[in-house]
Structure 1
């Protein structure tokens, strides 16, 4: 019996599977999807709306913003800026043509912010600053819009809006100046 061939036993392979790589890949996928979901969320800018109460020539009215706080900036071609305060048919500060820079629109925004803040403090609403309405015309370029937004940041104007529609009076004003 000694000459009988020995039984060859097959080697048993390990039944354990190394999951280290799979765990790493799954964590990477989880992080990837979390980041893409966060980036896909729509981003909104905080927009401070004005109060619904305002005073006009001593009369308290509860239907819209304080017109004394409104500053309108019209952007036209050739770097032309026309600005006025209040409403165009009853302006607090008459329309004037300005240019970009420190002695132009920036100085006007600083002056208007100072006057409006002093007025708001006098009537008991110290946190009410100017409301700037930016109206770029079809002739203005994108650079002018970016420049005026830079001026808003420099002048520390918190509440402003970009509006695309012009009143007929504003269109006439742009054609005149």
Structure 2
């Protein structure tokens, strides 16, 4: 703590008083201790908060014998577009367009992508027990989509416990159909 030393002069002369010069001494030891405590605290808390990452499994390209075919009944394709819109279709694109099992949705909690995935899982459950695990979610980002949309689609896969999903390249036909559906949805 800071100290101020004053000396008392015994006896004084009659007349004018002289101002006494006081010596000041500031003890900085507690401030150094506090600084080290703060440094220690911030170092400790930054090492405790580590980033978390989602596991992304990619197919092995070195073995061409692996069959990557998916049944139409278990396939759900999602194409993130601009403005957080999503074009989706079930099975193959041409069959989905004919049967009108495609559409535009968003990431809304009530009736967005999550609801589409849950409806697909419920339809697979009706087909037989254990079919839900065969759902294959294919995410095909369009050039107009942003990174956040892809991450949100992956989050929906994690939230809805979709075990099989993949990020694929969009075909020119899918790109044209998605753009046309996006324009008509506005």
So what's the TM-score if we normalise by structure 2?
0.56
Match of 1:105 in 2: 113
Task: Identify the match of residue 160 of structure 2 among 138, 143, 155.
Answer: 155
Instruction: Give the greater-gyration-radius structure (CA).
Output: 2
Partner of 1:95: 102
1:140 aligns with 2:145: yes
Q: 2:57 maps to what in 1?
A: 45
Q: 1:55 aligns to what?
A: none
CA drift at 1:44: 7.2
Match of 1:169 in 2: 173
Distance 1:173 1:93, change over 3 A: same
Q: Which residue of 1 aligns with 2:81?
A: 76
For 1:16-31, what aligned pairs fall within 5 Å after superposition? none
Query: Which structure shows the higher strand fraction?
Result: 1
The answer to whether the Cα contact below 8 Å between 1:120 and 1:128 also exists between their aligned partners in 2 is: no
Match of 2:35 in 1: none
Contact 1:113 1:129 in 2 (8 A): no
RMSD: 2.6
Structure 1 unmatched ranges of 5 or more: 1-42, 53-62
- How far off is 1:96 after superposition? 0.5
Q: Is the 8 A contact 1:84 1:96 kept in 2?
A: yes
Task: State the 4+ residue runs in structure 1 displaced beyond 3 angstroms.
Answer: 125-128
TM-score by length of 1: 0.59
The structure with more helix, counted as a fraction of residues:
2
